[in-house]
A = this chain, B = another copy of it.
């Protein structure tokens, strides 16, 4: 089952060197979730063959413009494309005022349902849930209220052993209960324990999006064992003071966090306009955490 992240923009607040403001598309089982929506996101979707019409949920981390100035353009384009499906937007309460004020010159409501879900940044908050996945906020430590987003697969059902189906003559209507962990009673009354009938499922996977934030130990508990950690790395250690002052992180700090939460893999992004090339950022992170990558625009990273 697909679980991946496509990078549309990896720039810090000031777009530079062909890098664009923050936006990512999380694909889980062919459902697309947009995370942040910097200026130009709708054009980046076109550039990178993301089918905009398949996005039904947009998560906005905070109200610095490089994370949401593309939202109104996308909302408008959906109108022009005569969108039918509801669009769910999750973000700080004031985001709704910003949307509402800019839609008001239309004089008519959008042709599709626009559902706004306000977020709070003080404690983790469940935003989205379906049969396979939950999305919850991650309180971050930024200059203004800011949340990351944790995409977590639900525990999967146990895998039925095909050989046992035949052996015990299990009817297909009994299988759902067994996959959920139940034992099986044969026609002659014997109880076959679940552990004989099933194999362990793949462990649930998770993706954490953490931008923008200073190094933030408060989130370690929530992110423990995350498969893929996206952590902002606006600066290198050379600008540690600047990072501190602006509530951003250095590559080393991002890597320390990856180490601390025992992530499988670290993705670095939100790069300052100070860096024409990004090698120093990657190099610095790798010293601490070898499985680090740059979130390059257009690239897709699997959550594994």
- Residue A169 at the B interface, CB < 8 A? no
- Residue A286 at the B interface, CB < 8 A? no
On chain B, the residues within 8 Å of A64 by CB distance are 76, 105
Taking a contact as CB atoms under 8 Å apart, the answer to whether B73 and A144 are in contact is: no
Chain A stretch 47-61: residues in CB contact (< 8 A) with chain B? none
The residue from B14, B70, B97 contacting A39, defined by CB atoms under 8 A apart: B70
- Residue A180 at the B interface, CB < 8 A? no
The residue from B65, B77, B104, B107 contacting A73, defined by CB atoms under 8 A apart: B65
- Residue A63 at the B interface, CB < 8 A? yes
Which residue from chain B places its CB closest to the CB of A272 in the assembled complex? Answer: B80
Q: How far is the CA of A40 from the CA of B65 in the complex (A)?
A: 13
- Residue A102 at the B interface, CB < 8 A? yes
Taking a contact as CB atoms under 8 Å apart, the answer to whether B80 and A13 are in contact is: yes
One digit per residue, 1 when the CB lies within 8 angstroms of any chain B CB and 0 when it does not, for chain A 13-30 equals 111100011000000000
- Residue A43 at the B interface, CB < 8 A? yes
Number of interface residues of A (CB under 8 A): 34
Most buried by B among A14, A42, A69, A80: A69
Q: How far is the CA of A175 from the CA of B163 in the complex (A)?
A: 106
The residue from B15, B62, B81, B144 contacting A42, defined by CB atoms under 8 A apart: B15
On chain B, the residues within 8 Å of A42 by CB distance are 15, 39
Taking a contact as CB atoms under 8 Å apart, the answer to whether B76 and A72 are in contact is: no
Taking a contact as CB atoms under 8 Å apart, the answer to whether A43 and B72 are in contact is: no
Which residue from chain B places its CB closest to the CB of A144 in the assembled complex? Answer: B105
Taking a contact as CB atoms under 8 Å apart, the answer to whether B73 and A72 are in contact is: no
The residue from B21, B62, B73, B273 contacting A69, defined by CB atoms under 8 A apart: B73
Q: A76-B65, A76-B66, A144-B107 are in contact. Are A46 and B102 (CB under 8 A)?
A: no
Can you list 11 A-B contacts with CB-CB less than 8 angstroms, sorted by A residue number? A13-B76, A13-B80, A14-B77, A39-B69, A65-B76, A69-B69, A94-B101, A94-B105, A101-B101, A105-B144, A107-B144
13 new A-B contacts at CB < 8 Å, known A15-B73, A20-B43? A14-B81, A15-B43, A21-B73, A39-B39, A39-B43, A40-B43, A65-B72, A65-B73, A69-B73, A69-B76, A98-B102, A101-B101, A105-B144
